[in-house]
Amino acid sequence: MDKLLLVDDEADVQYSFRRILDSPEIELTTVASGEEALKVIPRLKPDLVIMDVRLGGITGLEALRRLRQLDAKLLVIMMTAYGTTQTAIEAMKLGAYDYLLKPFDVPKLKQIVAAALKAARDMKEIVSYEPLLESEDHELGIVGRCEAMQNVFKLIGQLAATDATALITGESGTGKELVARAIYHHSQRHHQPYLAINCAAIPENLLESELFGHEKGAFTGATAQRIGKFEQCNHGTIFLDEIGDMSLATQTKMLRVLQSGTFERVGGNQPVQVDVRIIAATNKPLEQAVAAREFREDLFYRLNVVRIQIPPLRDRREDIPLLVSYFLKKFARGPKAPVKSISPEVITWLQQYHWPGNVRELENVIQRALVVSKAETILLSDLPPNLVSPGEGAGTAVGKAPAAPAATAPGQASDLPSLARALFHWARKDSRLKVIPAVERELIINALNETGGNQVQAAKLLGITRATLRKRIEKFGIKQQLSIH
Ligand SMILES: Nc1ncnc2c1ncn2[C@@H]1O[C@H](COP(=O)(O)OP(=O)(O)OP(=O)(O)O)[C@@H](O)[C@H]1O
Ligand SMILES: [Mg+2]
């Protein structure tokens, strides 16, 4: 249940909020003044405060300033009427999470509230990485006993003790976000805010302004100054998820923030100084993006100072039983509900599957099995019918659908003919595409990456002569980064 505090003296506004945010997941408390808010907050401990700028007694801005002194992590959304954007900007500089313009655009309001509540949860739910299982309700854990995960834990501990930038890599669903939050929760900055930004979810042309803000008139539609996440999250930690999707222009700004802690808002020329810890993550091989000149090499090295590489689940199968019991407990209905058991046969199955979706997929499979299972023990028939065993895709299907086709995930195509078929279909979507040179180029980039730029070895891997390789490198304009490891 999320606790929300509304600070507004108008009965109309209180009424609309009750209606708009009516949900069993939200507990709404209202007070009419900043003084009252300051009084109830230490006891109520709301997850989110929504406060009007214009209040009787102390102003909303003054209340915000005092609230932030009490708790730098408290998320506050300010409400302002049209024409008072300057106040909104002041509010953002004081660390408000966002602001709403009255009258409200209801879908926007819901969206901002949902995003703020997610940010509150990220800060509140402590992620522990010690070999756990006896965790409290509010604690999430990163489960793993295998050596590779023990190394991940060690690095989290080392990183938490410093302010260093970290780069977390791993396939989708391996736990990158969880690791980022664990670093934050155990770092000295845990009393300061944490903001997660998914670079892939924000359109390329908006990301720069989202991160660094903009000045009025910086581009069409920039009708007022805007404060970006870096300013807003000063002294805190920013998690940049999917950093491989950042445009080159934004990368240049990022590099400068990492080097000197300064940047200019889009369209501005005043340097802004911030003190923000950056944790970045990506599921794309950044080395490849560097080789293809899509990612700045200098930024890559700057981010890569400490790298946490999370192995795919198929490379740590010994942890599967532990993860399964963790999820069985996590999804048991209510804290006192009996935890279901699982048949050894199912565990064997789960340990054989290749898990293209990694831990997230395993979590979903267990959650689903708990819903469909009728007995006290989870059986093979409770697993999704399309799960197939590893073995070259010829897999025997689990449960009732023995003839199900191999569920080959992207990147998991099992043989050359199926890969070629997939490529052929992909190429047919665009008649201008020259499929053979396009594929050739990708193969060459991969080979060069694999061999650290060694052309002799790359040519051998590709089955062509070094001279041919050189010609192709030139033809395709592949810029080589010899220093990649
Ligand atoms: N070692 C682990 N122990 C417990 N839960 C885990 C572990 N790893 C991942 N999870 C759970 O799996 C899900 C996916 O994890 P997370 O979102 O951190 O992955 P991700 O690497 O960020 O994925 P993506 O690249 O798709 O964003 C989450 O629900 C997370 O809690
Ligand atoms: Mg993620």
Over 31-49, what HEC string results? ECCHHHHHHHHHHHCCCEE
Ligand 1: which of 145, 178, 286 to mutate, judged by most atoms within 8 Å of the beta carbon? 178
Residue nearest ligand 1's atom 15 by CA? 175
Q: Which of 163, 199, 169, 198 is nearest to 184 (CA)?
A: 163
Name the average pLDDT for the chain.
86
Q: 90-100: string of b/e by CB count within 10 Å (b at 16+)?
A: bbbebbbbbbb
* Centroid of ligand 2 to alpha carbon of 241 (angstroms): 6
CA 25 to chain centre: 23
Q: Which of 196, 229, 63 is nearest to 121 (CA)?
A: 196
Contact (CB, 8 A) for 58 and 11 = no
Contact (CB, 8 A) for 116 and 26 = no
What SS3 class is residue 112? Answer: helix
In order along its 485 residues, the chain shows pLDDT tens digits of 899 999 999 999 999 999 998 889 999 999 999 999 999 999 999 999 999 998 889 999 999 999 999 899 999 999 988 666 788 888 988 889 998 888 888 999 999 999 999 999 999 988 887 654 454 444 678 999 899 999 999 999 999 999 999 999 999 999 999 999 999 999 999 999 999 999 999 988 899 999 999 999 888 888 888 999 999 999 999 999 999 999 999 999 999 999 999 999 999 999 999 999 999 999 988 999 999 999 999 999 999 989 999 999 999 999 999 999 889 988 886 666 778 889 999 999 999 999 999 999 999 999 999 988 888 899 988 988 766 544 433 333 333 333 333 333 334 445 676 677 667 766 666 666 677 888 888 899 888 878 878 888 888 889 888 888 988 888 888 876 443 33
Q: Which two tokens stand for residue 166?
A: 């970290």
Is residue 333 within a helix (H) or strand (E), and if so which, with residue range?
none
pTM for the whole thing? Answer: 0.76
Phi and psi of 211, rounded to 5°? -80, -45
Residue nearest ligand 1's atom 28 by CA? 360
Nearest ligand, measured from the Cα of 132 = 1
- What DSSP string describes 377-429? EE-GGGS-TT-B-SGGGT-PBPTT-TTPPP-PPTT---SHHHHHHHHHHHHHT
Whole-number CA gyration radius for the chain: 26
Atom of ligand 1 nearest to the CA of 363: 12
CA 358 to chain centre: 15
Q: Which of 334, 384, 343 is nearest to 363 (CA)?
A: 384
Burial class of residue 69 (count of CB atoms within 10 Å of its CB; 0-12, 13-18, 19+): exposed
List the domains of the chain with CATH numbers. Answer: 2-118 (3.40.50.2300), 126-309 (3.40.50.300), 314-393 (1.10.8.60), 423-475 (1.10.10.60)
What's the pLDDT tens digit per position in 263-308? 999 999 999 999 999 999 999 889 999 999 999 999 999 999 899 9
**Residue 390: what pLDDT?**
44
Atom of ligand 1 nearest to the CA of 362: 12
Nearest ligand, measured from the Cα of 319 = 1
Residue nearest ligand 1's atom 13 by CA? 360
Location of structure tokens 């009025």: 216
What SS3 class is residue 222? Answer: coil
Contact (CB, 8 A) for 176 and 150 = no
